[in-house]
């Protein structure tokens, strides 16, 4: 986890972010900084704008107002700029999005070769290294259909890591998994956090937030309503909205 000083420069900086879909305001004046090596967990009720915020960071959604800066580089939607910024960001979605006709290793190799220009030998070596890291090196030549959901999600994490990102974004990475498979994915994510990977994670897994987060950010009603350490936000929320959300969680 991060031990950045207050004077450290944020890796991700968002100021005054507004996102509209037609007349529907999904994000309304969001400010957020994420520092190098920090694990920030976004929590809150459905519809709070958490996933949209992640998609704005890597340009999958265009912001309506505000500015986003990644490692000092302001996000614009010119092709050269957005491709450069996206090359620094890894994203893991709810669904695994692996190519079914390609082996596990080939799924991890493809973007390395197409985007980073690595040779087949270099790309496969990196794929095997990352598969070993997520505990799946023995599945390198298997096809996705032969893997469990948890294994496919771990491959998706390895694929994102293969691009050597500066920051990893996780959008509810365990929500599509059967309960018994959730732990293996969270274990990989906790190891990434321990190794110092900068991460922004949308999740309902409060145990992960308590154990891995440097900072928990509670979103509700299209805004950030509270943020602080896991203990502060999850055990002693100061806002009425935070108290109501945590009461709801405890009743589920």
pLDDT digits (tens, 9 = 90+) for 77-134: 998 888 888 889 999 998 888 999 999 999 999 999 998 899 999 999 999 999 999 9
The number of residues in the chain equals: 252
Stretch 206-213: mean pLDDT: 92
What's the pLDDT score for residue 252?
62
In order of their start, the domains of the chain are 1-88+166-252 (3.40.50.300), 96-164 (no CATH)
Indicate whether 166 pLDDT > 60: yes
CA 236, CA 231: separation in Å to the nearest integer? 7
Confidence of residue 251 (pLDDT cuts 50, 70, 90): low
Cα–Cα distances in angstroms (integers) from residue 68 to residues 26, 87, 131, in the given order: 16, 15, 32
pLDDT digits (tens, 9 = 90+) for 37-79: 999 999 999 889 999 999 999 999 999 999 999 998 999 999 8
SS3 72: coil
Query: At a CB cut-off of 8 Å and minimum separation 6, what does 186 contact?
Result: 174, 205, 207, 208
Written as six digits, the tokens of 14 are: 């968002």
Single pTM value for the model: 0.92
Answer whether 43's CB lies under 8 Å from 209's CB: yes
The CA angle 74-18-64, to the nearest 5 degrees, is 70
In 41-175, which ranges are continuous DSSP H helix? 50-57, 79-86, 104-115, 120-133, 149-161
What's the pLDDT score for residue 198?
97
pLDDT digits (tens, 9 = 90+) for 3-37: 454 457 999 999 999 999 999 999 999 999 999 99
């Amino acid at each position: 986890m991060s031990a950045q000083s207050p004077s450290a420069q944020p890796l991700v900086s968002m100021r005054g972010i507004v996102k509209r879909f037609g007349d529907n305001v999904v994000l309304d004046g969001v400010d957020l900084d994420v520092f190098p090596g920090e694990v920030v967990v976004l929590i809150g009720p459905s519809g709070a704008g958490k996933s949209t915020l992640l998609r704005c960071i890597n340009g999958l959604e265009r912001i309506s107002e505000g500015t986003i800066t990644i490692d000092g580089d302001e996000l614009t939607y010119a092709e050269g700029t957005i491709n450069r910024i996206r090359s620094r960001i890894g994203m893991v979605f709810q669904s695994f999005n692996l190519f079914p006709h390609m082996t596990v290793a080939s799924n991890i190799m493809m973007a390395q070769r197409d985007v980073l220009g690595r040779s087949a030998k270099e790309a496969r070596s990196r794929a095997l290294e990352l598969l070993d890291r997520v505990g799946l090196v023995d599945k390198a030549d298997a096809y996705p259909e032969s893997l469990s959901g948890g294994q496919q999600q771990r491959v998706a994490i390895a694929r994102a890591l293969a691009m050597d990102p500066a920051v990893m974004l996780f959008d509810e990475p365990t929500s599509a998994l059967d309960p018994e498979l959730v732990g293996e994915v969270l274990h990989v994510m906790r190891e990434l956090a321990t190794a110092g990977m900068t991460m922004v994670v949308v999740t309902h897994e409060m145990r992960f937030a308590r154990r891995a987060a440097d900072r928990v950010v509670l979103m509700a009603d299209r805004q950030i309503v509270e943020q602080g350490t896991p203990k502060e936000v999850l055990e002693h929320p100061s806002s009425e909205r935070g108290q109501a959300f945590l009461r709801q969680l405890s009743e589920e």
